[in-house]
Structure 1
């Protein structure tokens, strides 16, 4: 009997066979329009080096953040309409609207010119100087979701009127006109954004002063127009919360606004969890708690929901060249991603109805130095991977693994650093170029996703293209 001959595959057949095998052993791609719910996570300033450093800080070099485990990945270009390096306003607006706009502009058409706000009668910055006819509102994914009958929410660790959350529900020529931004969220009130229908269903963050009237004794950063926007929201059926306890006790059947700081942002996670807690941090919820509560509130809508979750203070710590607080806030943000995944899977085990996207709006200038030994604490001085001894610069001085390309902490003459100094909570990493504050970086950022409609999130994408993928996932 003649031996059987093995079939010979042509290069074309080999390619087809490999493709079919790959498809057979991968999860099925979910079709457009299958997402009932979308949760969009934005780590403000969470560039690739920050993600890597945070992973090492918490889980070691071989460990994984929750966001690392999401199966779909992409690189995102972040440049704005007028700058190589974007600020948060146009970058988040690009995600939310699909429009490239100028730095400092919030969800407006591309030609809109950023006009700096003025000061009110009490010297507080934030008076809206946007001229009529200076651009047109650009429709946001939150507004489209609302129009489709879904519930919508926007939550953050920054002021609720800060650039990232504002880009979801407001339209204005300059991000710092925060009193006007706040007014856009109040149904039926002067300055309300009518595209929000009966209002954003869930709002959480800090900056209560932008919603309350000026008071010389108790609210010096309040509204000069005398409006109490929280009272107006309560009159429209909102539950109004000021603390974690208020939030946890809030009924699920009502709209909700929680402002957990009397002024400015929520505490850094490192300070919120300190013993004893500092300032208002003692009464503030974690971002993970805010996220799961928002999901409880929004899921009452049978048609689904859109929720934006921002870890905003990552950016602030990086601007201050305080890597430790940036890493701890990144871990808290990742914990919120894990909490959302766990909660979504309780009722949607395969995420057949839920799309989860995790990304950043821009990079920073954080960088890794030297050839550090594996296992060396990421915030410590660099130790050589061969000898384990402290690495030295050309002048014989030790240096940290993490540094910044620019910022205020550039010594005229470097001296050696020790572990006790650099591992302290308030240590500020050294910088290459001396500037008053560290700037954003212009590099690409990561996007990770999973669930319904996630198959399109791949390759290198402009940030404006993400809007189309979100819209497609909702079938809009």
Structure 2
């Protein structure tokens, strides 16, 4: 088989030779594979028992083109054409679509979407777990309009709970599990100097109001350290203005209760955490967002992988016989897209894929509902007519201006140039490359189309079809009999809701 380097060279000299596996040239291959897929689908049986555990994976900004391109990259990294590859969640028996709009915006943000799939209520853009009767940024009006979430419902029924992310732990999606704010930017008190009305910043809410969350992992140390406190990794000052060290407060509260708790800030320390002797874990691995997965592979970032964090979280949480709820976010997919860098977006999607594969391998499909979805999409698309096996990060062909363009391009973003640059003059396969963008924006924007949902486990069949995004929270709550579906009168688990 041709190497990727040979394939990209052939594209640039416009003598494209498609890489077609020999078996696929036979009609019998496709007829037999079709029959096999029918037989496999017929073997699927709906699981209608109570979900002891619920895990929701969020690929932040993981649009359908992102999934397709990542699938191809995975295959090409293994020296295959790539298009025929299967991602771990694509083996799940059920799939559907979610409509992602916020109540006030066709194209959503991560705060409004997190509120939807974690609380079961759609709201405005930029607000976390505050209903849409409140305007963004109105601290006083938000009080009394806070929303509970699937994480809180799970804790209230005796389950354990955890939040894992590659962003700051106070960022929109992870904060959607535990915080309520009228403005997603209120991550630390330094972001609220002009806010009046008695609202708490997100970091303070996490430590003061969520003492029963067993596992917390992500970035964002600077919102927990006071101004003047040096970060252990980079020496930067903390950003809290109230003088409080929330990490020390978390540790002291656990010591007062006599529970087995650990704080870690790097991959080595996390690897040494013994789940058997750890009931509470706080891992903050960067002063801000964690590093991209490719950087973790090629540099000494000291950050654990998303799969490593997910595995450790499950090992700790599954000690509870009542079960657990876990939110896992691959947040840097979104940040990569905003930068117009498809390379990092695809690699971080594959890092999420490894985390999903790990969770599926150490949990039981009969008692654990696993969902994989995105909060919103992005404007990246696959364009042109590249040959089978063409590098997904490579050049697709020539445009009418006689310049080459890449397969992956953006509708908006920092990759816009006028006149347009010629992709053949750039090394498109490297991390730093910015794909072309049709419209110049400093940061590439979100997209507004539906996102995919993949599911396996108890009541996963409820996630087929097209649904409003808030439906996901209802399915998770119904399957695990928590929150509004806690009472047996509403959640029979003998085939459906009974009146």
- Name the TM-score class by shorter chain: 0.7 to 0.9
| Residue 148, structure 1, aligned to residue 157, structure 2 | yes
SS in 2 for 1:184: helix
Contact 2:142/2:182 (8 A) holds in 1:
no
Q: Distance in 2 between matches of 1:360 and 1:71?
A: 18
Give the structure 1 partner of residue 32 of structure 2. none
Q: Which moved more, 1:46-55 or 1:227-236?
A: 227-236
Count of matched residue positions in the alignment of Structure 1 and Structure 2: 415
Quick check: 1:202–1:294 contact (8 Å CA) kept in 2? yes
Q: Check if 1:231 corresponds to 2:248.
A: yes
Residues 241-296 of structure 1 show CA distances to partners (whole Å, capped at 9, x for unaligned) of: 111122122232321100001x211100111111x43xxx1x11100000000001
- Show CA shifts across 1:299-357 (max 9, x none): 1111000000000000000000000000000000000000111111xxx3xx1111110
**How do 1:72-221 residues align onto structure 2 when only pairs under 5 Å count?**
72-115=94-137, 130-133=139-142, 136-179=145-188, 180-186=201-207, 192-193=208-209, 196=210, 198-215=211-228, 218-221=235-238
Instruction: Please say which of residues 404-413 and 318-327 is displaced more in the overlay.
Output: 404-413
Structure 1 residue 219: Cα displacement: 4.3
Matched, 1:256 2:276: no
What CA RMSD, in Å, does the superposition of the two structures yield over aligned residues? 1.8
Tell me the CA shift for residue 411 of structure 1. 1.3
The residue that corresponds to 1:441 in the other structure is 447
Is 1:54–1:330's contact at 8 Å kept on the other side of the alignment?
Answer: yes
Please give the per-residue CA displacement for 1:1-59, whole angstroms capped at 9, x wherever unaligned. Answer: xxxxxxxxxxxxxxxxxxxx99994332122x610001100000000000000011111
Maintained 8 Å contact 1:134/1:173: no
Q: Which string of whole-angstrom CA distances, capped at 9 and with x for unpartnered residues, describes residues 133-167 of structure 1?
A: 45611110000000000000000000000000000
Q: 1:26 aligns with which of 37, 43, 46?
A: 43
* Residues 1:77 and 1:109: Cα distance change in structure 2 (over 3 Å): same
Native 8 Å contact 1:111 1:135 kept in 2: no
Does the 8 Å CA contact 1:380/1:419 hold for their aligned counterparts? no
Structure 1 stretches lacking a partner, 5+ long: 1-20, 116-128, 187-191, 383-390
Q: Is residue 292 of structure 1 aligned with residue 311 of structure 2?
A: yes
* TM-score of the superposed pair, with normalisation by structure 1: 0.84
2:263 alignment counterpart: 240
- Whether the 8 Å contact between 2:116 and 2:469 is mirrored in structure 1 is yes
Distance across 2 between alignment mates of 1:23 and 1:376: 30
Specify the SS of the correspondent of 2:117. Answer: helix
**Equivalent pair of 1:185/1:199 in contact (CA under 8 Å):** no
Match of 1:57 in 2: 73
> Whole-Å Cα distance in 2 between the matches of residues 269 and 147 of structure 1?
35
User: Relative to 1, partners in 2 of residues 1:415 and 1:313: Cα closer, same or farther, differing over 3 Å?
Assistant: closer
Residue of structure 2 equivalent to 1:13: none
Q: Is the 8 A contact 2:333 2:348 kept in 1?
A: yes
Look up the SS of the partner of 2:439 in the other structure.
Answer: strand
Q: Does the 8 Å contact 2:44/2:93 carry over to 1? A: no
Give structure 1 regions of 4+ aligned residues with deviation exceeding 6 angstroms.
21-24
